[in-house]
Amino acid sequence: RYLPDELVERVAAYMPPIYLSRIVGGQSPTTGQKIEGYLISLAATPRQMLQHGERFTYDRLNKSAKMAERFGARIMGLGAFTSVVGDAGITVAHEADIAITSGNSLTVAATLESAKEAVKRLGVKDLTKGKVMIVGATGSIGSICARLLAQAIYDVVLVSIEPERLIELKLLIQAETPGAHVAIATRADEYLPECDLIVTATSAFGQRVVDITRCKPGAVICDVARPLDINPAEAALRPDVLVIESGEVLIPGNIDFGYDIGLPPKTSYACLAETALLAMEGRFEDYTLGRNITIERVKEIYRLFKKHEFKLAGLRAFGEYVSEEMFQEKVRYAEMYRNDPALFAQVQAEAMEKIKSIPVMAKGVSASKSSGRALALAGAGLLLVGWLLGRRRG
Residue range 118-156, pLDDT digits in tens: 998 888 878 888 999 999 999 889 999 999 999 999 899
pLDDT for 262: 85
Check: CB of residue 262 under 8 Å from CB of residue 374.
Answer: no
pLDDT at 390: 46
Q: Is residue 275 part of a domain?
A: yes
Q: Distance of alpha carbon 27 from its chain centroid, rounded?
A: 25
- Domain co-membership, 193 together with 331: yes
pLDDT band at 282; cut points 50, 70, 90: very high
Q: Do 157 and 97 belong to one domain?
A: no
Q: What is the mean pLDDT of the chain?
A: 87
Give the Cα separation of 328 and 364 in Å (integer).
35
| pLDDT (0 to 100) of residue 49 | 86
- pLDDT band at residue 247 using 50, 70 and 90 as cut-offs: confident
The answer to whether position 154 is within a domain reads yes
Same domain, 86 and 192: no
In a domain, 115, yes or no: no
The answer as to whether 110 is a domain residue is: no
Q: Which of 90-99, 120-129, 280-289, 345-354 has the lowest mean pLDDT?
A: 120-129
- Average pLDDT rounded to a whole number, residues 297-312: 97
* pLDDT tens figures, 162-171: 999 999 999 9
User: Are 199 and 272 found together in one domain?
Assistant: no
Q: What pLDDT does residue 3 have? A: 79
Full residue range of the structural domain in which residue 275 is found: 5-105+250-314+367-391
Contact 8, 371 (CB under 8 A): yes
CA gyration radius for the chain?
21
For the ranges 41-45, 78-82, 272-276, 390-394, the lowest mean pLDDT is seen at 390-394
pLDDT at 48: 87
Q: Give pLDDT, residue 306.
A: 97
Q: What is the pLDDT of residue 1?
A: 60
Pairing of strands 34-41, 384-391: antiparallel
The pLDDT, as a whole number, for residue 113 is: 92
Cβ pair 196, 131 in contact under 8 A: yes
Taking residues 100-121, report their average pLDDT: 92
Kindly report the CATH number assigned to the domain that includes residue 133: 3.40.50.720
Over residues 7-16, mean pLDDT: 90
Q: Is residue 119 part of a domain?
A: no
Total tally of structural domains belonging to the chain: 2
Model confidence at 376: pLDDT above 80 = no
Q: How far apart are CA 344 and CA 332, in angstroms?
A: 13
Regarding whether 180 and 49 lie in a shared domain, the answer is: no
Shared domain for 348 and 203, answered yes or no, is: yes
Indicate if 242 and 262 belong to the same structural domain: no
Residues 183 and 100 in one domain: no
d(CA 59, CA 64): 9
Q: How confident is the model at residue 206 (pLDDT cuts 50, 70, 90)?
A: low
Let me know whether 281 and 371 are in one domain.
yes
What does the pLDDT look like over 177-193, one tens digit per residue? 999 999 999 999 999 99
At 333, the pLDDT band (50, 70, 90 cuts) reads very high
Q: What was the pLDDT predicted at 362?
A: 47
Cα–Cα distance for residue pair 233/231, rounded to 1 Å = 6
Name the residue type at position 246: S
Does residue 120 form part of some domain? Answer: no
| Confidence label for 246 from pLDDT (cuts 50, 70 and 90) | confident
Q: Is the residue at 112 inside a domain?
A: no
Band (pLDDT 50/70/90 cuts) for residue 353 is: very high
Residue 255 and residue 147 share a domain? no
Say whether both 351 and 293 belong to one domain.
no
Entry pTM: 0.83
114 domain-assigned? no
State residue 372's pLDDT score: 32
Q: Is residue 188 domain-shared with residue 265, that is, in the same domain?
A: no
